[in-house]
Amino acid sequence: MITVLLIALAGIVSVFIATIAILAVRSAPEDLRSYDVPSGTLVMTDQASLAAYTEMATAFADMGKAFDAMPEAERLATVRAALDGMGEAKSLEETVVPVDAEGVSGEWVLPAHGRVLRKILYIHGGFFSMGSPVSHRAMTTRLARECDAAVFAPRYALLPENPRKRMVGDCRRAYAWLAAAPVPGWPTMLPITVAGDSAGGNLALVTARWASRQTGLDHPASVVALSPATDATMSSLTRANRKDDILVGPTLDPVLKLAPLVWRLAILAKFKVWPNDPEISPLFGDLSRLPPTFIQVGSSELMLGDSLRYANKARAQGSDVRLQRWTGLPHVWHLMDLDAEAARQSWQAIAAFISDPAGASSGPRDDDRDAVAPFPDRTTASSTQTPLPKALP
C-alpha cells in the first residue's frame, strides 16, 4: 500500500514539475539585452524644472501612501475618484464634447483657437486599472492646443473588472471609429496620430501596430508614447533606477522581489494573456513597418529600459522610432501640468514631431546618440481654415 502511494505521489510531483517547466518556457521573454545600448537624444533638464517636478512627484507618492492601508477595492475607487477630481478641477478653454464611438464612450477635446489640422487618439495611462478621459485632460487639452488637433480620448475597459482583450478591443474600435469620423464642425478628413502615456502608451503602441497592418483602414500618420510600458514580463526594467523612480519604484518594488516566473504567472492570471504576447508586450512583436514613432522617457525611470529596447529593436527592424531621454524627470511628467521650462520644451518637441513626423523639425534622429536636442521654434500652422464653432451640435 505504501509503495502504491509513493508511486502515485512521485507521479503527481513529476506532473507538477513538468507543468511548471512548460509554463516557464511558454512565458519566458525573448533575450533582448543586446538592445540595452543607450540611444536617442539625451535632453539635459534645467535645474528649476527638475526641482519642481521632483517636488510634485514626491507629493504624488506621499498621497499614494495614504491609500495603502485601504482594502483593495476601496483604494482603487478612491484613487480613481481622486484622479478624475484633478481633471474636473482643471479650468478649460478647450471645448469638450462627450461622444459614443461604436460602443466606446469618450470625449472630443477641441482647441479653443479653432484650428484643426489633424486628429489624435489619446489613450490614457493608469496601470490599466485607473484613469479616464477626465483625469487626463491636462494631456488632451495641451495636445489639442499645441498640435492644432481634435483629440478623442476613449473610456476603455479597465482592470480588474475587464480582461486585457476587452481594453485592446475598445482601443481598436475607437481607432476605427476615429478614422471614419469627421471632426465636429470640420468637413474634411484628417491624418491620425495615436498617443498615450504609461499603460496608455502601451495600448497606443499595440493599437498603432494593429492599425498600420489593416487593409481598408486609414493608417496612423504617427505615434507618440510617453514613458510607455512595453514589456509585461518585467525583464526590460532598468533596475539600477529602482530607488530613483519616485512614482513607479515603490509600486513595483514588491514585484521585483518575486521570482520572475511567479510574476509572469500572476500576469497571466490577471490579464488572461501570456506576458510575452505582443498584445500585452509590444516589445516582443514584429516592429517593422511601424508608423513614425516618438518616445519620451525620464532617464531615472524604472521603465527606461522598456523604451530603450523598444526603440532600438524597432530601428533595427527598419522602423523610424525617435527617443528622447530627459535627465531626472519622473514618470509621465507631462501629466503634472507644471509651468516649467521642461514642460514647454517637451510639448514643443511633441508638437514638432506630430506636425512633421517624417521631417527634421522634430529634432535629431536616434542615430545621433546622446546629442542634446535642439528645440526649434514651432512653425505656426496656417489659420486660413474655417474655425471650429464654439457651440457644437
Sheet with 192-197, edge to edge strand ranges? 41-43, 321-326, 293-298, 222-226, 192-197, 118-123, 149-154, 104-110, 95-101
216: left (phi over 0), alpha (psi -120 to 50) or beta: left
CB atoms within 10 A of CB 215: 5
| Exposure b/e, 268-280, CB count within 10 A at least 16 = b | bebbebbbbbbbb
The H-or-E segment that residue 193 falls in is strand 192-197
Of 145, 215, 203, give the one whose Cα is nearest residue 179.
Answer: 215
Helix (H, G, I), strand (E, B) or coil at 335: helix
DSSP alpha helices (H): ranges in 134-259?
137-146, 164-180, 199-211, 249-256
Of 39, 132, 135, 198, the catalytic one is 198
**Which DSSP symbol is given to 161?**
T
Cis peptide before 254 (omega within 30 of 0): no
Strand 95-101, strand 104-110: pairing = antiparallel
Of 276, 250, 245, give the one whose Cα is nearest residue 263.
Answer: 276
End-to-end CA distance of the chain: 81
334: left (phi over 0), alpha (psi -120 to 50) or beta: alpha
Active site residue 198: yes
Phi, psi of 69 (to 5 degrees): -80, -10
How far is C-alpha 127 from the geometric centre of its chain's CA atoms? 10
- Please tell me the distance from the alpha carbon of residue 177 to that of residue 181, in angstroms, as a whole number: 6
Q: How many helices (H) and strands (E) does the chain have?
A: 10, 9
Phi, psi of 148 (to 5 degrees): 50, 55
Which residues form the catalytic set? 198
